[in-house]
Chains A and B, each alone.
Chain A
Amino acid sequence: MRKILTMGAALSLLAAPALAEWNPDGPIRLWIGYGAGGGTDVQGRTLAKEIEALRGWKVLPENKAGEDGTVMSAQLKGEEPDGQTLGFAITTTYDFAPMNSDNLSPEDFTYVTTTAGSQMAVLARAESGWETLDDLKAAADAGEELVWANWGTQVEAGAEIVARALDIDVNHLRTKGGRGALNALVSMDANVGWGGGVQKPLVEAGELNILASAETSPVALAPEKPTLQDVGIDLNLGYQYIITGPAGMPDEIRDEIAAVVAEILNNPDSETRQFIEKQYPPAPILTSGDELRSQVMTTYEANVNMMEALAE
């Protein structure tokens, strides 16, 4: 009897995938791990609006900014894992940040789905004339003092890895957020830095040059520039935007939410998709469920190893 029931359920799932398996009891709170007005916020809010339009679920976005989503996550992990409190942050929040935190661990969360990916790149001011990492090295060898703008421990470690691979010395300047790194570059407080995606207008305006991509493939703004891996530096600083919940969320809730998000982002007319195509090109990245969970766990271990190797 039970077997027949499960089979029936499986069949009906196949037959009508759009039929809602699960519906929230009241509103869903979507905690955005970044401040209002930024790219993450806009993405989260348009997504919330479209989920509401698609399913009739009431989604209430709230901003809980700070420390790349960790401030939000520290509050999220104590919530009920009923799918009605969700977090929106980046994978770095879960696969790197917990290393330095007493109260966060990658095990504390359910990973629902990713939405989009970063465009991590090494940047320099156009007027410096540097076009590649070789130019950077040449300048350093010629005695120019290099100050590298970083917004967090992970990217600072990445900068150090690049510097060691090129056999040059850099001073690291810690800035407030990705925008802070750009400001440091523009106001000449630093001469090289990272950009995760906010650099787009400045690169397009010809103010900044992209020297290399820190993703696994070239960045959309400068497809001709190599990745770090192309030039023999084993480093991938790319990250994805991710929807999470507290640990222990039932699989059917997790998968249902991921399915709704996928349905929206796969629709070419979706406002969120269009935003992602423009801001985080070329297209949405949808990894979800167990696959996403193992991605986070593997990257976390790789990051722990990277930091240990650096400390030696």
Chain B
Amino acid sequence: MDLVFQYIQLGITSVFEGPEGGLTLLPVFMVLIGVLTGVLIGAIPGMSGPFAMAIALPILVSIFGYGNDALYPVLGCLLGIMKGATVGGAVPAILFRTPGTPDAFLTTLDGYPMAAKGHARKAIQTAHFSSVLGDNFSDLALFIAAPAIALTVERILGLPEKSALIILSLCFMAAVVGKAPLKGLLGGLLGMFVSLIGSAMSGNGPRLTMGMPELGNGLPLTSAVLGVLVISEVLVSMEDIRNNCDDASSSDGKRPEMGPRLTWVERTAMLPGILRGASIGTLIGSLPGIGTTTAATLSYDSAKRASKTPEAFGTGVPAGVVATESANSAVSGANLIPVMSLGIPGNSAAVFIILAVETIGDFAFGPQVFQFTPIREIEGFDTILNAGLVTAFGIFTMMMIANFWNWTFGAMLMGVLGHLAKIPKSVMLPVILMVSLTAAYTQDGGYLGLLTASVFALIGYVLRRLDVSILPFVIGFLLAPTLEVLVRGAFTASGGDPFFLLKSPIALVMLALSVFLLGRMVVQARKT
């Protein structure tokens, strides 16, 4: 136990320690920048946390570089954006009934009526209070669950089990995301396939490059993800605005009456509701692929069922705002559980956290991070410890710092946000497009990056228009290289046994589960 505290202490100090050992506040400052950006971005309709993270990542990397010293500032800023955005989305939802982020949609149900009744300030403060508290709750779950899962997993998983685990998570994701699991899974396979373009492992030169030597190292990762997640969404929104000739954000946004503040008595009364919402959000968030919207919906329904006056929901009761905001914010921390313990991203925000870690420095997510190597100091030499574990606790520390900023500056900023909703989306989107393309060019090898982003944007556009969910495609794209190494390694290590994945009972169970999920999808596809 002593060792655990030693590592936690080292992790906390590592955030404040500069490269030369002196005190640095850079990571703390970058977290603040991130939180403020996140709150602002969250409040702009059409923008969301992952959007801002996608655009910020290449810019941050250009500023701080790829060295180990860059990890904390860059990751701190991204974590700040992620957390800030969950808070900011509620403001326009409450004031103008236009949710800033998709997951704030349900907040309009009770938040807007509250504002209409002249309790806008109360509604915003309720949203802030339950959102930040829910977020903190799920962070706590992350801090406990991630090391525990990692330790268990590392002890029992070899190459075949690790392969089976990735297959299972992909199947699970395809099954739960969107209404069309078969196509989701096909998208996942396609994503995996395109990630194989380029480098090969057996030294016979690059594969599937269609004669382009530039592709020899594979498609540039950040550009591809930027294209399929962000630019495609921009294109779809632009087309919708063009066709509907309306601009949702420029609606008759008259600022409603702010009204009185939220009292501490009222806050205390909210605690049970927040706890329920946060628990639901955390549970949902820890499973890959199920998003914030599902969490908010479930939480809202359960709050309604538990309420003595369910008919009041939707007419402007604080309990409704509490239910949705605590749940959708609790998703963000819990989403990092599979990321930090297994290296498997579960939603788009997590995708960018993983991308940042992969791009910068030596640190990488995975079960190996949580090995509690005894700390030994050798005279005249160096200290022996697991540096990855220190970094992990450093990341936890930055999340706590982000929470602190969310409590303080986040609350202040939310109060003055109302005006932001007036930036028209039709101008915002082209600007996002330009910034994304520039970022793709500067970070990922010139026109190769830009073209990759464009092609992936087209793929994403078609998938979105066909109502196929994008997430399996992205996750497949990110995980396939790891999976290939694992599968090839497991196959070779088994001495060429064609049933190499079925030899271990754990892998067998996971694969059986995958098959079960597949079967369920098929049945579902035939029924609907």
Contact = CB atoms under 8 A, between A and B. Distances in A.
A and B touching (Cβ–Cβ under 8 A): yes
Interface of A: 35-37, 41-42, 62-67, 70-71, 74-75, 97, 100-103, 147, 152-153, 156, 171-176, 179-180, 183-184, 186-187, 189, 204-207
Interface string B435-452: 000000000011000000
Contacts of B495: 171
Q: Which of B159, B382, B385, B489 has the most CB of A within 10 A?
A: B489
Given A66-B206, A189-B158, 19 more contacts: A37-B67, A37-B359, A42-B67, A65-B217, A66-B198, A66-B217, A67-B205, A71-B199, A71-B213, A74-B213, A74-B216, A153-B203, A171-B493, A173-B492, A174-B202, A174-B488, A176-B481, A180-B485, A189-B489
A147 B493 contact: yes
Contacts of A71: 199, 206, 213-214, 216-217
B259 interface: no
A186 B493 contact: no
A255 B356 CA distance: 41
Given A101-B205, A153-B202, A205-B384, A37 B65 contact: yes
A159 to B, nearest CB: 13
Contacts of B381: 204
Interface residues of B, number: 39
Interface string B174-203: 000000000000000000000000110111
B528 interface: no
Given A37-B66, A62-B445, A204-B382, A171 B492 contact: yes
Top 5 nearest A-B pairs (CB, nearest first) are A66-B217, A37-B66, A71-B216, A153-B203, A74-B213
A156 B202 CA distance: 10
Interface in B8-47: none
Given A147-B493, A153-B202, A187 B218 contact: no
A21 to B, nearest CB: 32
Interface in B401-459: 445-446
Contact of A173 (B66, B204, B213, B489): B489
A189 B216 contact: no
Nearest to A157: B203
Contact of B217 (A41, A62, A67, A180): A67
Contacts of A207: 384
A299 B3 CA distance: 50
Contact of B206 (A63, A67, A186, A204): A67
Contacts of A37: 65-67, 359-361
Contacts, number: 91
B445 A189 contact: no
A62 B445 CA distance: 8
B445 A63 contact: yes
A147 B201 CA distance: 17
Contacts of B202: 153, 174
Nearest to B198: A66
B138 to A, nearest CB: 29
B237 interface: no
Contacts of B488: 174
Interface in B192-246: 198-199, 201-206, 213-214, 216-218
Interface string B353-386: 0000001111010001000000010000110110
Contacts of B154: 187
Contacts of A204: 381-382
Majority DSSP secondary structure for residues of A touching B: mixed
A50 B451 CA distance: 33
B216 A66 contact: yes
Nearest to A176: B485
Contact of B445 (A64, A174, A186): A64
Contacts of A100: 203-205
Given A74-B213, A174-B202, A186 B489 contact: no
B382 A174 contact: no
A66 B445 CA distance: 12
A232 B379 CA distance: 37
B159 A189 contact: yes
A176 B203 CA distance: 11
Contacts of A67: 199, 205-206, 216-217
A117 B446 CA distance: 31
A41 B158 CA distance: 33
A209 to B, nearest CB: 14
25 contacts: A36-B359, A37-B65, A41-B66, A62-B445, A62-B446, A64-B445, A66-B198, A66-B206, A67-B205, A67-B216, A71-B199, A71-B216, A71-B217, A97-B203, A101-B205, A152-B203, A153-B202, A173-B489, A176-B201, A179-B362, A180-B485, A183-B364, A189-B489, A205-B382, A206-B384
Contacts of A206: 376, 384
Nearest to B61: A36
A100 B200 CA distance: 12
B374 to A, nearest CB: 11
Contacts of B362: 179
Contact of B214 (A35, A42, A75, A174): A75
B268 to A, nearest CB: 48
A149 B275 CA distance: 49
A26 to B, nearest CB: 17
Nearest to A205: B384
Contacts of A64: 214, 217, 445
Nearest to B445: A64
Contacts of B364: 183
A54 to B, nearest CB: 23
A45 to B, nearest CB: 9
B205 A102 contact: yes
A75 B206 CA distance: 13
A178 to B, nearest CB: 12
Contacts of A66: 198-199, 206, 216-218
A74 B199 CA distance: 13
Contacts of B489: 173-174, 184, 189
A175 B485 contact: yes
B496 to A, nearest CB: 10
Nearest to A102: B205
